[in-house]
């Protein structure tokens, strides 16, 4: 069964990036790497029209 992932809203990703993951952890944890993964997932899904 395919795994479905609900991406974090873009505004939350931007806020975490601007404030830093120490002050505003990205949803799902993972620190800076998790933030980059979430942003990449959001971008791919948006470009795919999902």
Burial of 16: CB neighbours in 10 Å, binned 0-12, 13-18, 19+ = buried
Is the pTM of the predicted complex or chain greater than 0.75? no
Q: What pLDDT does residue 47 have?
A: 92
Give 22-50 pLDDT, tens digit per residue: 888 877 778 888 889 888 988 999 899 87
Would you kindly state where each structural domain of the chain is located, as residue ranges? 10-48
- Nearest-10 crossing angle of helices 10-19, 31-48: 150
């Amino acid at each position: 069964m395919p795994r479905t992932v609900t991406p974090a809203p873009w505004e939350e990703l931007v806020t975490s990036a601007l404030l830093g993951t120490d002050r505003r952890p990205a949803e799902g944890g993972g620190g800076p790497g998790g933030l980059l993964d979430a942003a990449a997932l959001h971008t791919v899904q948006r470009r795919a029209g999902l």
